[in-house]
Amino acid sequence: MNSVNNQKIDFYLPDYGILIESRQKRLAAANVTHSHTNPCILFIVYGQGILEFEDKSFDIEADSVITLAQGKSHKLTDKPRKPMTIFSVYFDTQKTGLNKYIVDYLLDSQEPFILPLYYSENIKEHLRQMLYEQNTKPPGYKLSITQNLSLAVLQIYRAMLKRDRQTNTIKPIGSGERVKAVIDFISQNSHEQYSLADAARLGKVSQRQFTTLCRNLTGSSFVKFLNFTRCQKAATLLKQTDMPVAAIAFEVGYEDLSTFYRAFKKIYKVSPIQFKNI
């Protein structure tokens, strides 16, 4: 699939122009300064390392994104006892039909950056799906890979636009900031089935520590925070739409209608139907 020649790594792309890899142990050539014949995006899933661009050096960690233009020399090394797991996506812009302006914007980046949690989780889902489609090749897999790459690229582009110029460089963040990011993420995606264990995993803390920090940040436990967020969204839908109560419960994240009724009445002191008619 690849050959190494004069510190250049060639990846031969399939006819639809995308190749994705997920690996922990990288090619030997990746540990020296090298370049690729196709543009690529590297997403750090786990671990820590050092990225070198010419005369610049950056510490990188999980959720970091590195965009590399065709032929851009770089060197990526693991830190001791913290080997990185990386999604690597190589692509041909013309074959994939990706928006050239967006791709050029991404590839013009001169340094890596850590994605906010909301973007990171979405991008990981797209990359995992791409890897699955590439490995199993179900009907329509080429279209699925192309669409998932487009969505991942769009998410990275939006994250780049949104980032504060003063936080372009990668800086380690503390557990409190991570937990706040998780709370913000789950608040936006409260319809998903996130448990305390899931939240603690995303925040990279223990469940006990997450509970303490969540209470400090929101004034309540994780379960109460999640129920309040869901019921708040349900209250808006009850007042602003004609959706059935069962549909609203499902949309905001409740799979059991009786659980929704209990949670809603505990917060608003009336049932969802009574609330709608007030």
Domain housing 219: 173-278
**Judgement on whether residues 88 and 204 belong to the same structural domain of the protein:** no
The number of CA neighbours under 13 Å toward the Cβ of 96 is: 28
Residue where a domain stops, chosen among 167, 182, 208: 167
- Angle 173-48-152 (CA atoms, 0-180°, nearest 5)? 80
Q: What is the pLDDT of residue 190?
A: 87
Would you mind telling me the total number of residues written for the chain in this entry?
A: 278
Q: Is 50 helix (H, G, I), strand (E, B) or coil?
A: strand
**Judgement on whether residues 87 and 205 belong to the same structural domain of the protein:** no
What's 136's domain CATH number?
Answer: 2.60.120.280
- Give the residues across from 2 on adjacent strands: 11
* Structure-block tokens of residue 238: 């009850």
- Span 200-253, pLDDT tens digits: 888 888 999 999 999 999 999 999 999 999 999 999 999 999 999 999 999 999
Residue where a domain stops, chosen among 123, 145, 167: 167
**Judgement on whether residues 119 and 15 belong to the same structural domain of the protein:** yes
Residue 151's pLDDT band (cuts 50, 70, 90): very high
Q: What is the pLDDT of residue 247?
A: 92
- Span 9-19, pLDDT tens digits: 666 789 999 99
- 168 pLDDT exceeds 50? no
- Give the residues across from 19 on adjacent strands: 90
Q: What are phi and psi of 228, to 5 degrees?
A: -65, -45
Q: Any idea what DSSP says for residue 150? A: H
Alpha-carbon span 72 to 40, nearest angstrom: 10
Alpha-carbon span 223 to 32, nearest angstrom: 48
Residue where a domain stops, chosen among 117, 148, 167: 167
**Judgement on whether residues 129 and 183 belong to the same structural domain of the protein:** no
Specify whether the CB–CB gap between 28 and 80 falls below 8 A. Answer: no
Alpha-carbon span 105 to 64, nearest angstrom: 17
**Judgement on whether residues 33 and 147 belong to the same structural domain of the protein:** yes
**Judgement on whether residues 15 and 123 belong to the same structural domain of the protein:** yes
**Judgement on whether residues 10 and 140 belong to the same structural domain of the protein:** yes
**Structural domain tally of the chain?**
2
**Judgement on whether residues 138 and 31 belong to the same structural domain of the protein:** yes
Q: What is the pLDDT of residue 175?
A: 78
Buried b (16+ CB within 10 A) or exposed e, 168-205: eebeeeeeeebbbbbbebbbeebeeebebeebbebbeb
- Span 18-44, pLDDT tens digits: 999 987 655 555 567 888 888 999 999
* Structure-block tokens of residue 255: 């799979």
Specify whether the CB–CB gap between 129 and 148 falls below 8 A. Answer: yes
Q: What is the pLDDT of residue 214?
A: 92
Specify whether the CB–CB gap between 3 and 53 falls below 8 A. Answer: no
Mean pLDDT across 180-202: 87
**Judgement on whether residues 159 and 186 belong to the same structural domain of the protein:** no
Q: Which long-range contacts (CB under 8 A, 24 or more apart) does 54-61 make?
A: 56/110, 56/111, 58/111, 58/112, 58/169, 58/170, 59/170, 59/172, 60/84, 60/112, 60/170, 61/114, 61/170, 61/172
In 3D space, the residue among 232, 242, 219, 217 whose CA is nearest the CA of residue 266 turns out to be: 232
What's 224's domain CATH number?
Answer: 1.10.10.60
**Judgement on whether residues 157 and 201 belong to the same structural domain of the protein:** no
Residue % of the chain over a pLDDT of 70? 89
**Judgement on whether residues 196 and 137 belong to the same structural domain of the protein:** no
**Judgement on whether residues 204 and 264 belong to the same structural domain of the protein:** yes
Q: What is the pLDDT of residue 165?
A: 47
- 1 pLDDT exceeds 80? no
